[in-house]
Amino acid sequence: MLKKDDQVTIEIEDIGTDGAGIGKADGYTLFVKDAVIGDIIKAKVIKAKKTYGYARLMEIITPSKDRVEPVCPVARQCGGCQIQQMSYSAQLKYKQKLVRDNLARIGGITDCEVLPVIGMENPFNYRNKAQYPVGRNKDGKVVIGFYAGRTHSIIPQTDCLIQHECNKQIVETVLEFMKKYKVTAYDEKKNKGIVRHILTRVGKTTGEVMVCLIINAKKLPYPEEFVEMIRNCGINLEIKSITVNINREKTNVILGEKIETLYGHSYIEDYIGDIKYRISPLSFYQVNPEQTKKLYQTALEFADIKESEVVWDLYCGIGTISLFMAQTAAKVCGVEIVPQAIEDAKQNAELNHMTNTEFFVGAAEDVVPTQYEKSGGKLRADVVTIDPPRKGCDEKLLETVVKMAPSRIVYVSCDPGTLARDVKVLVERGYEVKRVRACDMFGGSFHVETVVGLQRKSM
């Protein structure tokens, strides 16, 4: 066993779920952040447990063939991108392997083909939403940037390479405004000071931009001056919405409930494929619209919907997948726990003149079984799509889905572990995995989004 501060030379052989490299020193497993499979490195133990430990990458002795110089100057400190030091093609292969390994290890599914990951043309500047924390450094100076990994200390950085290019000018303008009008930055520890976060959203298709300042105050001082400065910040896109969001709580949650519009609308609009969505600062909307389109197209392809068919879209958010499916299906029923999201879903259906949708508010594991009971066990679906948060589905929900006897189930997931666990349940209850394909929504990070197409076995 190794102990803290021991230095070892190891070869990285695998990669953990959080993107850290994994190597062995005399049979003892070490997790090393920033190390790539194939690297031979010198590492220093920072935390030693009984059977494994964590080490810091000290020196790369022989770099892996998959290692690249990260494009971002703060890639190592920042908590945002964990695997930027891996070439993009290696990142995609790693994500494919992660999905395959999880399905085999947790789901016991080894006989299905896991297709290559759908990658991005350019794995930079892909996000449409940015949230910059605003605070002070040790000298009391205002800093805007990103949180360092696992902490709340802010690394000053206005030019994040996975964000839209216009963010740099917006963030620098906010900094200038704060200096000029002596508007204070929020101090997390004391719950004092005004500006907490800057939230921006860009409609990639429409070119509409939203700027929302999250403040710890009833009102923003100098609101007209702020609007003027933001409107003239020099970006070549149209600023459609400037708002403030009031958050006076001592909390890690970024947004408060109240929003005040300072200029333009309280929302922007954007498209995924041919479908238009209205996005407010509080709504959930996929952060990478180009890849989202490919993700939904994959889901649609796996769903193979006929015009006469009924679809249930569980965990539907603002109805993104529902509306995509409603282009072909006879009817789509969406279920979502957040009431505001359901309001947005209904509005989005209207915006796109879709009358074949119905939305239910509530936990999917309550709503679906209740609707099933109400129908006297007659509720049926031809296709069910499931897109849960990381923790996956409740077994009660999966059981009811099986009773509804859809001929196809499409499971979209952001966590390969819970995906494998839930798919196993469906396989045990009469479904077989037809196709698996991940789509890369978050280049440079370990996150992976997967679509699994299941078919009911003929009894």
Catalytic residues: 414
Examine residue 344 and tell whether it contacts ligand SAH (CB under 6 A): no
Query: According to CB under 6 A, which residues from 232 to 291 bind ligand SAH?
Result: 284, 286
**C-beta closer to ligand SAH: residue 48 or 325:** 325
Applying CB under 6 A, which of residues 39, 66, 336, 344 lies at the interface with ligand SAH?
A: 336
Euclidean distance between CA atoms 47 and 6, whole angstroms: 10
Angstrom distance (rounded) from CA 184 to CA 198 = 14
Name, in order, each residue with C-beta under 8 angstroms of 24's C-beta and a sequence gap of 6 or more: 10, 13, 30
316 binds ligand SAH (CB under 6 A): yes
> Which of 275, 341, 345, 441: binder of ligand SAH (CB under 6 A)?
341
Q: Is 363 in the site for ligand SAH (CB under 6 A)?
A: yes
Q: Which residue among 8, 209, 244, 364 contacts ligand SAH (CB under 6 A)?
A: 364
How many residues touch ligand SAH (CB under 6 A)?
Answer: 18
Choice between 229 and 351, CB closer to ligand SAH: 351
**Rounded alpha-carbon distances, angstroms, from residue 40 to 10, 260, 336, 413, 418:** 6, 54, 47, 34, 32
For ligand SAH, what does the binding mask look like between residues 378 and 417, x meaning CB under 6 A?
---------xxx----------------------------
454 binds ligand SAH (CB under 6 A): no
- Give kind and range of the element (H or E) at residue 399: helix 395-403
Q: Distance of CA 373 to CAs 228, 336, 368, 400, 426, Å?
A: 57, 19, 9, 10, 20
Q: In angstroms, give the least distance from the CB of 319 to ligand SAH.
A: 8
Q: What is the Cα–Cα distance from 273 to 205, expressed in whole angstroms?
A: 9
Distances (CA, A) of 41 to 8, 32, 365, 377, 446: 8, 10, 48, 60, 21
Contact stretch for ligand SAH (CB under 6 A) within 84-92, 127-135, 228-236, 336-344: 336-344
Integer CA distances (angstroms), 323 to 208, 268, 302, 328, 329, in order: 22, 18, 16, 9, 10
**Residue 324 in contact with ligand SAH, rule: CB under 6 A:** no
Residue 150's φ and ψ, nearest 5 degrees, are 55, 20
- C-alpha span between 247 and 218 (Å, rounded): 9
Q: How far is the CB of 341 from ligand SAH (least distance, A)?
A: 5
Q: Are 221 and 183 in contact (CB under 8 A)?
A: yes
Backbone angles phi, psi at 308, to 5 degrees: -90, 0
Distance of alpha carbon 142 from alpha carbon 146, whole angstroms: 13
**Stretch in the footprint of ligand SAH (CB under 6 A) among 50-58, 262-270, 359-367, 429-437:** 359-367
**Binder to ligand SAH among 337, 354, 405, 427 (CB under 6 A)?**
337
Question: Near ligand SAH by CB under 6 A, which window of 66-74, 312-320, 373-381, 438-446?
Answer: 312-320
Stretch that binds ligand SAH, among 28-36, 64-72, 258-266, 331-339 (CB under 6 A): 331-339
Beta bridge partners of 413: 450
Give the residue, chosen from 64, 266, 283, 320, that forms a contact with ligand SAH under the rule CB under 6 A.
Answer: 320
Task: Specify the stretch interacting with ligand SAH by CB under 6 A; choose among 3-11, 174-182, 212-220, 311-319.
Answer: 311-319
Binding of ligand SAH at residue 315 (CB under 6 A)? Answer: yes
Is 338 near ligand SAH (CB under 6 A)?
yes
Phi first, then psi: give them for residue 294, nearest 5 degrees: -70, -35
Contact between 317 and ligand SAH per CB under 6 A:
yes
CA distances from 89 to 80, 123, 260, 372 (A): 19, 10, 44, 45
Min CB(190)–ligand SAH separation in Å: 32
Q: For residues 30 and 323, which CB has a smaller minimum distance to ligand SAH in the complex?
A: 323
Q: Give residues in contact with ligand SAH (CB under 6 A).
A: 284, 286, 315-317, 320-321, 335-338, 341, 363-365, 387-389
